[in-house]
Every structure is written in C-alpha cells, then in structure tokens.
C-alpha cells in the first residue's frame, strides 16, 4: 500500500529555534507535488496554530491552520469531548494553551484560591514561577483535574542547544502534588488518531517523521504508522544505539533530503 500521509514533528525536524532545517521546505514542497498529504504534529504548546502558520510560511513552507495538530489543540479537543465548556481552568502555559481553551469556552482563572478551578492544564511556560507552582498545587489539592499537554523534558533550540521543555514543568507540579497527570500529547496516541480520522487515512498509509524516540517514534509505532527518525534534533546516534526495541524506528535519516 502506498503512503498517502506524511506527518512531521516541528522542533528539531522542520526547524530549531528560528533556524529552518536543511531541505525542510524542499521536502514538503516535493511531497505536495506528488499528491501526498502533509501534516504537522507537535508537542510544543507555546504557540497558537495561527502562529505556526505564520512561522512556517515565513520559512518558505506555505500551510494552513487545519494542517497542524498541537498538543494544546489536542488537549482542547479532549476537554471539549469531556464537556468542559464553561468549566474553570488554571493554566501553567503560554498563549497556545490559553487560546485553544478559550476557543472551546473554558473560563481561564488566575487565582484558584479566590476563583476555584476544575482543571489545571500544564505545558511549556517560559515565565514559570514559584507562584504559578503554588497556585497549581493548591488547585489540584482541592480537586482540580491535572492535565499535561506533554512530558517532553527538553526540546532542541538554535545553535545546537537542548533546553528545558514542558515536561520539566509538569514534573515539578507532579512532584509537589503527588498526582499523576493525564498526558494528552505524544506518545499518547490521541492526537495521532485525531489526525488519521480527519485525513481519512489508515495507519499503514501514513508515516511519522520525528527526532525523538520516546515521543515521535513511540507514538508512531503505538498507532501503527511507519516511522522515520531524523538526526537533526534531540536524538543522536549514541542514543539510538542504546534505545529499547519498542522505540526503534523503521528508518533513520541524517536530514530530510534522504526522505
């Protein structure tokens, strides 16, 4: 069966920081010329889907909002399916989470002690403070459901750097509350299954291209997709050699030109 859908992670695959990865624009363009569907699946919850459209378009990859599945958007879709519209949510995160949860009608609160909270949703927050940790702790200790967009401890940035990710913040909240969050993003297959249904494609007609073994490759294998690891992000050859079998991709490439 031929491949119809190519799903790309963003950080470390399409770009690192403000730097576009070599051959990213050319690869996406060529796939589209061949009639393939292209989608973008990211655990990074910082930006809105509109912001991702602007970012990739500025990198020479024209795209539309419906081509993106972010962990923030997947979290909003999950909460919407649970009847969370109108519920109060305390967010430890950036604009991507705030915007997606507002869109489904959730009430964002700033102080759970004064306003109460039905949910705490946590992801990457580059303005994370002790006060935010304290407020999240209070809300969860008083019955709020704890949801994490993802558990990525790090993510690849510009100039070859690896920086702390949303998973580090989620871990801080989990440590002080003793509560395990429901994690929506990769390697949970929820967002992947949403993408496949929306594209009307079966798993064996799709390939996931990512840079992380513990999220990208693992979610692809769990969902039954073909998997490609590109060595431009978090995972290097040494990490690949020591990886457990369940995280080994079908194919490893050094850059997207090899796809």
Give catalytic residue positions: 9, 11
Tokens 């801080």 belong to residue: 172
| CA nearest neighbour of 150 among 121, 108, 118 | 121
Side-chain-side CA neighbours of residue 255 (13 Å): 10
CA-to-CA separations, 236 to 117, 213, 254, in angstroms, rounded? 41, 10, 10
Per DSSP bridges, beta strands 154-156 and 162-164 are antiparallel
Per DSSP bridges, beta strands 206-210 and 226-230 are parallel
Residue 253: CB atoms within 10 Å: 15
**Burial (Cβ within 10 Å: 0-12, 13-18, ≥19) of residue 245:** exposed
């Amino acid at each position: 069966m031929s491949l119809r859908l190519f799903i790309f992670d963003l950080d470390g695959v399409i770009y690192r920081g403000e730097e576009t990865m070599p051959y990213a624009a050319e690869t996406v363009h060529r796939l589209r010329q061949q009639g393939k569907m292209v989608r973008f699946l990211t655990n990074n919850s910082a930006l809105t889907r509109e912001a991702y459209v602007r970012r990739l378009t500025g990198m020479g990859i024209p795209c539309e909002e419906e081509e993106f599945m972010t962990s923030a958007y997947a979290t909003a879709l999950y909460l919407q399916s649970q009847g969370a519209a109108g519920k109060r949510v305390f967010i430890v995160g950036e604009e991507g989470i705030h915007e997606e949860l507002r869109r489904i009608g959730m009430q964002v609160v700033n102080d759970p002690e004064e306003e109460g909270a039905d949910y705490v949703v946590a992801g990457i927050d580059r303005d994370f403070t002790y006060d935010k940790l304290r407020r999240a702790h209070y809300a969860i200790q008083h019955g709020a459901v704890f949801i994490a967009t993802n558990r990525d401890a790090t993510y690849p940035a510009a100039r070859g750097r690896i920086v702390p990710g949303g998973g580090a913040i989620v871990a801080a909240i989990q440590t002080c509350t003793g509560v395990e969050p429901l994690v929506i993003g990769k390697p949970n297959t929820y967002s992947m299954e949403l993408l496949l249904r929306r594209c009307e494609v079966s798993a064996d007609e799709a390939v996931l291209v990512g840079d992380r073994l513990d999220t990208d490759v693992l979610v692809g294998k769990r969902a039954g997709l073909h998997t490609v690891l590109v060595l431009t992000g978090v995972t290097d050859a040494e990490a690949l050699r020591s990886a457990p079998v369940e995280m080994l991709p079908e194919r490893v490439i050094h850059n997207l030109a090899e796809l």
